[in-house]
Structure 1
Amino acid sequence: MSKKIGWIGLGRMGEAMVTKLLKAGHTVHVWNRTAAKAVHLAEYGAVIEKAKIDLASCEVVFTMVSTTDDLKEVLFGPGGLVTGSKKPQVVVDSSSISQEGSVEIREQLESLGVAYLCSPVSGNAKVAKAGKLLQVASGPKELYDMVEPYLQAMARKVMWVGEGELARIWKIAHNTMFGVIIQNLCEITVLAEKAGIPRHIFLESINDSVLGSMYTKYKTPMLTNLTFDQVTFTPKLLLKDMDLGMNAAKAHGVPMPAAAATRESIARMVGHGLDHIDFAVLLLETAKDAGIELTPDNVPMSDGLS
């Protein structure tokens, strides 16, 4: 039997994921800080709640917010989800937060009798809408088994990686690689273009090589036509994730020179005020450093998702 489901956080990712749940036939009670972002979900059957504490009557509540502090605020802050007499059975968090912050949240929730599962994802909102997310979870295995049907409704594949906060380490490692790949992809694309290979041809060839991936394919239209206003993820959020990666590397004694260099490159972008458009604008910064000015190729390119 389907449980009563709640959802907090309707940014680009949260909105795409909860829409998948709704389209799979689940009734979901939703709350978002900016209420207007939730209204259209009523068309798919969502129940719009005025306050996050109203979701406490749900058995399972999913959260998808930006930072550790944001998650603590929606859970434990004034009017927070678990601050009333009634509390959900389970909180499933899909945010990208630190391992240490996740431990604190788990301890506080469990002290209140609320179970907690970490369940970050691989993919952006476009990937989510295409039904191609990977969802990775950690925490008690019996808890994962209970919520797995809801995870399956949002992803092409779901995986349990172990107890505790291991999914946080997975996500931190994943997003660190995410940053390093875009750094290198921008560098080699500028190299190829400056040497004379048209940008769209080079990117198509990389996508069709052994190095191509879902990631390189879905960034190709943007890198080809310089449509960085079509935001999937901002430099500021990527910098936050690179910092999580470097902090984890320090904590575990793992040298990561490529990630360290990438972190500085992303920090420079944010310092230049480029924190409101897509992180792939790194291509333009790399081109400037190489002494060239890029223009859109104006060539239709597949993102591999549709």
Structure 2
Amino acid sequence: MPYVAQDRPRIGWIGTGRMGFQLAARLLEAGHDVAVYNRTRAKAEPLAERGAAVVDRPVDLADRDVVFTMVSASPDLEAVTTGPSGVLTSPDAAPGVVVDSSTMSTQTSESIRKEAAKRGTDFLAAPVSGNPKVIAAGKLTVAVSGSRGAFDQVEPLLALLGRGVTYVGEGEVARLVKIAHNVFLGIVTQSLAEITVLAEKGGVSRSAFLAFLNDSVMGSLYTRYKSPALVNLDFTPTFTMPLLRKDFDLGLSAARELEVPMPLAAATAQLIAGAIGAGHVEEDFAALILEQARNSGITLQAQNTPVDDGLSPRS
């Protein structure tokens, strides 16, 4: 196994979008030596004010102990790892571990894992659950798969990113965990939209119904977090409907491959497709409630009521 310095590993971070920026900042706040790369350099430069070094090419991070990647899609991950000037292309050095937290196809992940192994680099799939506000509240969660030994080496770093880090097995199984998570996310949101519209059409305000639900045993961190959007119809995107549809497609494909019937997921996928067809492509997927209301013969109005989302920032 590649050696990774345990006390103060030198960290590389590739991808400083909304999520990557916040996560790299947490490592800097913890006092780690972090160098960062982003395709648009200007998005990485504010991290220099927090102590990061900003590099011009992914390969400039090849001598780091641990390199995190958080990019948009499979071709982007290939570009920053095995493409020209990728972090795995230096003739003189290679990271001890690459930890990928992108939403990625299993096939791409497997391919890059093999290329990393040729360089003596361990590769961990580490998809995350959360968004920038969840990160700020210290409630991000991470599922990790790959070598157990590599996981044990980097677990202290992963623990700095949020509240929960779970090793789920070898190979690419963390990708399946993330897809299963996002399918459940869609099913729960559709169900929440249905019961909230039912209560509203029966004469109960959305704010009152959701306040009751959130304080009951059926309430959760998630139902509380989504309540402001459902009450005030603020659909500033955290995750869009087309992205959710992509994950449902992947989840239902895995279900077919593994011969697992998923009737609720299949029905929800059709409702998501209907919402996209109705034009809900840029909004947050909580806009499912608008289609539920339309199908129920009512038009929702924003209540303009303060609603606690349960995500107070960490102290």
1:137 aligns with 2:154: no
User: Which residue does 1:298 correspond to in 2?
Assistant: 304
Partner of residue 204, structure 1 = 211
The corresponding residue for 1:106 is 113
Q: Which amino acid aligns with 1:194?
A: K
Q: 1:25 aligns with which of 28, 31, 34?
A: 31
Structure 2 gap ranges (5+): 1-6
How many corresponding residue pairs? Answer: 305
TM normalised by structure 1 equals 0.94
Distance 1:87 1:261 in 2: 46
Deviation digits for residues 132-174 of structure 1 (CA, Å, limit 9, x no counterpart): 1122211111101110111011111212122222212211111
Q: Aligned partners of 2:110, 2:68: CA distance in 1, in Å? A: 17
CA distance in 2, matches of 1:272, 1:39: 39
Q: Structure 1 residue aligned with 2:62, among 56, 63, 84? A: 56
Match of 1:87 among 94, 103, 117: 94
Percent identity, aligned pairs only, is: 52
One-letter amino acid of the structure 1 residue matched with residue 45 of structure 2: V
The answer to whether residue 124 in structure 2 is matched with residue 149 in structure 1 is: no
Moved more, 162-171 or 140-149: 162-171
Q: Which amino acid aligns with 1:251?
A: E
Deviations 1:20-55, CA, capped at 9 Å, x for gaps: 111111121111223222222222212222222222
* 2-structure distance, mates of 1:279, 1:128: 20
Q: Distance in 1 between matches of 2:216 and 2:74?
A: 38
Out of 254, 260, 263, the position equivalent to 2:269 is 263
SS at match of 2:160: helix
TM-score (norm 2): 0.91
| Alpha-carbon distance between aligned partners in 1 of 2:167 and 2:178, rounded to the nearest angstrom | 13
With 111-120 and 76-85 compared, the bigger mean Cα shift is at 76-85
Gaps in structure 1 of 5+ consecutive residues: none
Q: What does residue 182 of structure 2 align with?
A: 175
* Counterparts in 2 of 1:66 and 1:268: CA distance versus 1, 3 Å: farther
Q: CA deviation at 1:12?
A: 2.2
CA contact (8 A) 2:82 2:112 kept: no
The answer to whether 1:13 aligns with 2:19 is yes
2:186, 2:112 → 1: CA distance? 27
Greater CA deviation, 291-300 or 7-16? 7-16
In the alignment, is residue 220 of structure 1 matched against residue 227 of structure 2?
yes
Matching residue of 1:163: 170
Cα RMSD of the aligned pairs, angstroms, is: 1.6
